[in-house]
Amino acid sequence: MDFYLTALLQGLCLSAIALGIYISMKIFNIPDITTDGSYTLGGAVTAKLLVLHQPVFLALPVVIAAGAIAGALTGLIHTKLKINALLAGILVMTALYSVNLTLMGRSNIPLINTASIFSLINISADFNHNVFWILLVFVAIITLLIGYLLKTDFGIAMRATGNSESMIRALGVNTDRMKIIGLALANALTALSGFLMTQFQGFADINMGIGIVITGLGSVIIAETLINWLRITSVWLSLLLVLSGAIIFQFVLAITLSTGVDPTLLKAVTAVFVLLIVSLPRLSFKSSA
């Protein structure tokens, strides 16, 4: 049972990434892979500050700012230098590896006897239950904020930027600026996942971000499949499905591992799983046509 609880908790930790990828990929239509770097950046900043005995309340805004700067850099390279978004993301991600390593000073920082968001409040004696409630509140707040944002005039303009650029420029929106803000927001969310995961697993590692973009992508694609299938247009339901996608994704990985698959094959399994959810809807369309 604990096994599945851990999967649920990891899913909640990674749901911020899923929201971030949802914003960059679905709302702005930009394939952003700065993610791998900004996730580790979030973890590295968190670990460094906590080891220096800084309070969690200081770490949180610093992590958000760090992620936002990373995203804004990708956005600037993409919009101002007119470089392909994928390449811009790869460049920033690669550079972030050195930044993260410099920040951390070594490849792994264990968190022992340091402050943690999960020990701020004691709701339950059981560590995992406590983590669950804190994560739930944390993710709920983020989701409410993003949901509200998408409902505002600014949010509608954001959604239109990825959907019909010519239209939204004609309606007076600087789309370059909008994309930079969008990528900053997406990567701030990604860094938040790094913040949560580092404290949950009790360490930050320079390699923790490798392939994490696939986790976010997989979660969003699960959500998208459901959104299309159920013909959902509501912003709130879409966000809830993205969160569910992140959790479903972790459950699938947990179940795969529990069947005795070698953990070294985990990344391969992840990739195959994402390939399956991307291709299955297409395959079934083909047979019905």
Q: Which of 142, 160, 223, 254 binds other proteins (CB under 8 A)?
A: 160
- Closest CB to other proteins among residues 68, 206: 68
Q: Report the alpha-carbon distance of residue 185 to residue 262 in Å, rounded.
A: 36
Q: Report the alpha-carbon distance of residue 5 to residue 265 in Å, rounded.
A: 22
Q: Report the alpha-carbon distance of residue 13 to residue 187 in Å, rounded.
A: 15
* Phi and psi at residue 209, to the nearest 5°: -90, -5
- Position 170 contacts other proteins (CB under 8 A): yes
- Position 247 contacts other proteins (CB under 8 A): no
- Position 229 contacts other proteins (CB under 8 A): no
Q: Which of 61, 81, 153, 264 binds other proteins (CB under 8 A)?
A: 153
Q: How far is the CB of 143 from other proteins (least distance, A)?
A: 17
Q: Which of 171, 255, 271, 280 binds other proteins (CB under 8 A)?
A: 171
Q: Report the alpha-carbon distance of residue 230 to residue 21 in Å, rounded.
A: 21
Q: How far is the CB of 152 from other proteins (least distance, A)?
A: 5
- Closest CB to other proteins among residues 80, 129: 80
CB 213, CB 192: distance < 8 Å: no
Chain position carrying tokens 């972030």: 96
**Candidates 38-46, 165-173, 208-216, 248-256 — which segment interacts with other proteins by CB under 8 A?**
165-173
Which tokens belong to 67? 């992620």
CB 225, CB 249: distance < 8 Å: no
- Position 232 contacts other proteins (CB under 8 A): no
Chain position carrying tokens 């906590």: 50
What residue ranges bind other proteins (CB under 8 A)?
A: 148-149, 151-154, 156-157, 159-160, 163-164, 166-175, 233
